[in-house]
Structure 1
Amino acid sequence: MSSVQALREFINERLTAAAGEIFTVFQQTVVQYEEEIRRQLTLLENIEKPQIKFHRTESPQQHIGNQKTSASLQQEEHEAPHIKEEEDIVEVTVTDGESDNSHDSVRDLTTQRLTAAAVEIFTLFQPTIVQYEEEIARQHKLLEIIWKPQIKLHRTGIKMQRRLNTQQALEMILNGAKDSHSDEDDVILQPSSDSELSDEETAPLPQKRARMGSEPTETAKDGTVWREEQVGTPLNFTSIKPYAADGEPTAKARKSIGSRLQSFLCFITLDMLRTIQEWTIQHARQTEQVDWFMALPELMAFIAIMILRGVTKVPSLCDSWSANLGNPRIIAIMPRNRFQDIMRHLRFDDMFTRSERAETDKFAAISNVWGSFVTNCIASYNPGRHITIDEQLFPSKTRCSFLQYIATKPDKFGIKFWVACDLKSKYICNVLPYLGKDPSQPSGERLSESVVMRLMEPFMDKGRAVTTDNFFTSLSLARRLLSRKTTILGTVNKIRREIPQSARQTDRNEFTTQVFSTTGATLTVYAPKRKKTVYVLSSMHSMVETEDTTKRKPNTITQYNTTKCGVDVMDQMVREYSVRTGTRRWPVAVFYNMIDMAALNAHVLYQECSGREERRVDFLVQLATELANSHVGAKKACKEQKLQQQPPTPSPGKRAQCQVNHRCKNNRATVRCVECYKYTCGQCKREIPWQCQVCADQADS
């Protein structure tokens, strides 16, 4: 086969393939247009069978099909000469071999011919597409005419009315309304008796937005239908039965709490302390000494020192043991070096399996201990009706993947926690750490809704009320909570799609209120200042009324101001006596926050169970004393045992050092005290005057 024949076959194959692809795309487009026309024809036939007539000798499908066939034939006729001409040109160009630039001239000429062929093909296709589009537009206009119950063409001059049926009005509009009526007429479209439309067919199409004042309802961007209500009138709203009891400890907690230490151990249990003890010893033996050990009472004393350091603030750790700024209670519990040694090795999980668990759990370094603490918080207290949900930023600059920066917070950097708090007692009911994007969260679900539902899960179906800020509050959340017999009250961001458009205006008169209602919720729009607007969504108020004061605040705003402060007050209380100190390890920072929360909850439980009020600072000092008593008592007993084991007198020819040091500075001693068994020098001993037996007996009696 010569090169010219091979080139001819190659060009034929490529052009044939291109023509096939073009025709396939055109055919798909034609099929879509035919389906749309067929659908609209069916709808028109169902609406007005005897009246509507299409003045055509052939159907649009037949006409377009013929056009398509003729276009295809014309396409083939036009394509063939071009292909032949290009092949001839290629033959001449190849056989003649004019110059070195022959290949470029062939390429340019081929490109020009193919471009011209493509333009002609598109020119043939375009009229067919235009006819389809015109037919669809005509039928769409016909549908709009039939769906409207009346069409009025207002003309100036003497007003007269002429009633036309559907067919006459249609012809009049399609012909441009040239000679159908005089300039003084009002044309009213009425269905004839043979083609009366049903109520559903004559009903106007639903409007996306109705203007306030002319229509009672308004549709928001997300499709929510709102109805504007008058302030002070009862709403068409069925409220659920509210939770009647106040917050109180559970029966199990009441039985186990008799002291401050027992209330604290309800949250930081002995099992949790044993877990911390185990992994701390593991880390110390792997990194320092093989025989390193820490007893459980010593760990409790370690926590006691942390609590005391939170009560009495000093510039640095060393100052807590100094002579000038030191705390005698801390000095008596544990030496400074031992405290620092325990802090250095403090761990909360198995160091050998941590990397494996961290692949699926970012909180793996402390997740087991933290989970037990949260479970204990839920199981130890029944919160009252009102629960506040908000965020807490625990200050820390440790290196971790979920460290947050919030510019509006005082400390800017920290680990964020979602907290649910009882309004009256400030008891921490539930808490979740924020670890970044959760891969297990369902797609499309908002983070705010997921957080609220998880925090409120143990307290649902009782009639409780949740107070949130504008980060959490949404209409979809309100409906989800209402399905679980839980109401919500919170501010809403005005950019949310469920807010009606008429409520978004900012230039309002001062102290004005606007109320909207929808299924299961009310929206209060209040202007405390002229260009400031507050939006409050509530699913618990069946009537919104304003107070008789100058500011005329609605009851929803007043109640929100009362219930919004639960988490903020709790965070303020925790910060006042926080055990937090500088650390480079984020699990230790989380442990600090856990101790603060446990101490606050323990104070609430202790007051509820004992029935007496006690200042929190006094409670913390006594709690630290009770935590350290076991370790201090064991240390004292061990010291006494060592003193008793020493000989009554030093070995011959040697003197011991004075162990009392009451009046001396490390004097030598040879005699031991009969009470404490310490070696005592002459300056530190007490002389007993000589007595007769009669006086001694009288003194003893």
Structure 2
Amino acid sequence: MKAYVGLNILMGINQLPDTGMYWASDIFIGNAGFKKTMTARRFEKLTQYLQLCDRESEPVRGERGYDALFKVRPLLDVVENTMWDAYTPNRCLTVDKCAIVMKGRFSPTQYMPSKPLRKGLTVWMLCDSRSGYCHRAKIYVGKPDEDEAAASLGYRVVTSLVRGLEGQYHHLFMDSFFTSVPLLQRLLRDGLYACGPTQPGRKGYPEVLRPRNVGKLSQGEFYQCQRGNLVATVTRDVKVVSCLSTNSAPGIVGISPGRQQRETDGEGESDSMESSGLSFGIPRPLPLLLYQENMRGVDLCDQLRECYQVGRPCKKWWRYFLWFYVNLCIVNAYIILRESRGGTPPAGFNGKQFTQRHFRVRLAQQLIGDYQGARGMERAARKRHADSPIEYGHRLERMSERSRRCRNCTNKGLRHESVFGCKICNVHLCRGGCFSEFHK
């Protein structure tokens, strides 16, 4: 099973359209390492019969103890605790959602027309703003029960993600889907600061900062209102933005980076005093500057995760979560290795920079190790001779009851069918000279 996972990791680096192409006889497509590790049929059977739970004990919908994530619950119990304990959270954390593309049937699948991935599964993530490490992930499984429906979805998601951080005064940054006055007040009581844009029509937002009372704002103009540690801000940058924060004081303004512009005189020539150009920045209140700087943790994690996808599309929804968490664990392990060594590459690496690709290749090699399937060890023990393919174990045998196209004739542009072939190469061949000609 370790070798099976290692091959799936390598498939994310060396991506081919079809799984069987890794075992192809074509020297330009087939992979010798895959053939040495296990056969294509062995890999397909492991994929077919892979399960994470005891399906016979699964409760049906409506029974007591029903769990929509029962098929992946053993994996979640192990992975979530490990991710939480392996990395100490830094001061700034990000709460946001990511989408998993899915082609199977699963009721919580959402249709999001405004997103690049229009149809997929939603996962809420708590990530470190500086490194992108994912501390906790929560899968969306549909509408909650009646006893949980009193609070909004964003309120319940954030409070569940930050469970265990009470009293440590971390700074949470979230988007407008989560930010609300009741949530920030609850987090402040629990000893957590928060910041994020919000909708001005939400309950608890100051009436004096609503659009009908503020009027038209010029670029850079802003108004703020404070109640205790909670500061509400409305400003205009490209458009009007409303923001709530408990980690900044009102009245503090910073200048955001602006574009370089060159002033010219009436004749079109640049002035000598302004030849270097002037940088015009837009004044912004402190909450928006902090949000712009630290609302990137989930994006960093997604960038690392999307580089080398693990797993293949299928019709079983739980497999998407399986490979999502495997990929997420690889990203977290890479971040821990990178930060624990301070940017220094591990021993034995001769390159300039130890990237995630090098980490994944080393991880796959360690998982596979010296493992060889039974057929691979049998093939390696036999005597090899270049002039006699039979010494390799290649024999002309009956492949199936149904005839298929001869591979050697197909390579020459001819069409002949045969029920015979070579089982080691997994190709059909004619009984004439195609067998010896193909193996040359």
C-alpha RMSD over aligned residues: 2.3
**Higher Cα Rg: structure 1 or 2?**
1
- Does residue 274 of structure 2 align to residue 567 of structure 1? no
- Does residue 314 of structure 2 align to residue 591 of structure 1? no
**Equivalent of 1:621, from 361, 371, 390?**
361
Q: Which amino acid aligns with 1:435?
A: V
Equivalent residue for 2:436?
none
Q: Distance in 2 between matches of 1:635 and 1:668?
A: 17
Q: Distance in 2 between matches of 1:540 and 1:453?
A: 18
Q: Distance in 2 between matches of 1:544 and 1:428?
A: 34
Residues 130 and 294 in structure 2, CA contact (< 8 A), matched pair in contact too: no
**Equivalent of 1:307, from 1, 4, 9?**
9
Equivalent residue for 1:336?
40
Equivalent residue for 1:512?
221
Alignment coverage as a number of residue pairs: 352
Q: Distance in 2 between matches of 1:372 and 1:496?
A: 38
Q: Distance in 1 between matches of 2:286 and 2:222?
A: 11
Secondary structure at 2:226 match in 1: strand
Equivalent residue for 1:536?
243
Q: Distance in 1 between matches of 2:38 and 2:390?
A: 26
**Equivalent of 1:347, from 41, 47, 51?**
51
Q: Which amino acid aligns with 2:163?
A: E
1:639 shift after superposition? 4.2
Against the structure 1 CA distance between its residues 668 and 585, is the aligned structure 2 distance closer, same or farther, given a 3 Å change threshold? closer
1:403 shift after superposition? 1.2
Residues 544 and 556 in structure 1, CA contact (< 8 A), matched pair in contact too: no
Q: Which amino acid aligns with 2:11?
A: R
Equivalent residue for 2:131?
425
Residues 226 and 250 in structure 2, CA contact (< 8 A), matched pair in contact too: no
TM value normalised by structure 2: 0.75
1:423 shift after superposition? 1.0
Q: Distance in 2 between matches of 1:426 and 1:384?
A: 11
Equivalent residue for 1:659?
383
Residues 467 and 564 in structure 1, CA contact (< 8 A), matched pair in contact too: yes
1:582 shift after superposition? 1.1
- Does residue 253 of structure 2 align to residue 552 of structure 1? no
Equivalent residue for 2:438?
none
Secondary structure at 2:237 match in 1: strand
Secondary structure at 2:99 match in 1: strand
Identity %: 22
Secondary structure at 2:371 match in 1: helix
Structure 1: which 5+ residue stretches go unaligned?
1-298, 644-657, 670-701
Against the structure 1 CA distance between its residues 358 and 442, is the aligned structure 2 distance closer, same or farther, given a 3 Å change threshold? closer
Equivalent residue for 1:459?
165
Against the structure 1 CA distance between its residues 441 and 327, is the aligned structure 2 distance closer, same or farther, given a 3 Å change threshold? farther
Against the structure 1 CA distance between its residues 637 and 307, is the aligned structure 2 distance closer, same or farther, given a 3 Å change threshold? closer
Secondary structure at 1:485 match in 2: coil
**Equivalent of 1:393, from 88, 99, 102?**
99
Q: Which amino acid aligns with 2:222?
A: T
Secondary structure at 1:352 match in 2: helix
Secondary structure at 1:366 match in 2: helix
**Equivalent of 1:366, from 41, 48, 72?**
72
Secondary structure at 1:452 match in 2: helix
Equivalent residue for 1:685?
none
Q: Distance in 1 between matches of 2:41 and 2:377?
A: 19
**Equivalent of 1:602, from 317, 329, 333?**
333
1:117-172 Cα deviation digits (max 9, x unpaired): xxxxxxxxxxxxxxxxxxxxxxxxxxxxxxxxxxxxxxxxxxxxxxxxxxxxxxxx
Secondary structure at 2:384 match in 1: coil
Structural mapping, 1:106-185, within 5 Å: none
Q: Distance in 2 between matches of 1:659 and 1:630?
A: 20
Q: Distance in 1 between matches of 2:133 and 2:391?
A: 58
Q: Distance in 1 between matches of 2:152 and 2:366?
A: 45
Residues 397 and 403 in structure 1, CA contact (< 8 A), matched pair in contact too: no
1:184-227 Cα deviation digits (max 9, x unpaired): xxxxxxxxxxxxxxxxxxxxxxxxxxxxxxxxxxxxxxxxxxxx
Q: Distance in 1 between matches of 2:3 and 2:88?
A: 30
Equivalent residue for 2:433?
none
Residues 308 and 330 in structure 1, CA contact (< 8 A), matched pair in contact too: no
Residues 395 and 414 in structure 1, CA contact (< 8 A), matched pair in contact too: yes
Equivalent residue for 1:177?
none
Equivalent residue for 1:486?
192
Equivalent residue for 1:102?
none
Q: Which amino acid aligns with 1:664?
A: D
Equivalent residue for 2:397?
none
1:566 shift after superposition? 1.1
Q: Distance in 1 between matches of 2:365 and 2:324?
A: 20
Equivalent residue for 1:20?
none
Q: Distance in 2 between matches of 1:441 and 1:397?
A: 32
1:604 shift after superposition? 1.4
1:610 shift after superposition? 4.2
- Does residue 114 of structure 2 align to residue 405 of structure 1? no
Equivalent residue for 2:30?
326
Point out which structure has higher relative CO (alpha carbons under 8 A, 6+ apart): 2
Equivalent residue for 2:349?
none
Against the structure 1 CA distance between its residues 562 and 358, is the aligned structure 2 distance closer, same or farther, given a 3 Å change threshold? farther
Secondary structure at 1:310 match in 2: helix
- Does residue 222 of structure 2 align to residue 503 of structure 1? no
More displaced 10-residue stretch of structure 1: 336-345 or 494-503:
494-503
Against the structure 1 CA distance between its residues 488 and 668, is the aligned structure 2 distance closer, same or farther, given a 3 Å change threshold? closer
1:543 shift after superposition? 3.6
**Equivalent of 2:309, from 578, 589, 594?**
578
Against the structure 1 CA distance between its residues 637 and 582, is the aligned structure 2 distance closer, same or farther, given a 3 Å change threshold? closer
Against the structure 1 CA distance between its residues 441 and 451, is the aligned structure 2 distance closer, same or farther, given a 3 Å change threshold? farther
Against the structure 1 CA distance between its residues 479 and 665, is the aligned structure 2 distance closer, same or farther, given a 3 Å change threshold? same
Structure 2: which 5+ residue stretches go unaligned?
256-279, 346-353, 393-440
Against the structure 1 CA distance between its residues 303 and 507, is the aligned structure 2 distance closer, same or farther, given a 3 Å change threshold? same
Structural mapping, 1:95-114, within 5 Å: none
Secondary structure at 2:16 match in 1: coil
Q: Which amino acid aligns with 1:447?
A: L
Structural mapping, 1:440-451, within 5 Å: 441-451=147-157
Against the structure 1 CA distance between its residues 341 and 625, is the aligned structure 2 distance closer, same or farther, given a 3 Å change threshold? same
Q: Distance in 2 between matches of 1:630 and 1:357?
A: 45
Equivalent residue for 1:527?
236
Residues 182 and 204 in structure 2, CA contact (< 8 A), matched pair in contact too: no
TM value normalised by structure 1: 0.48
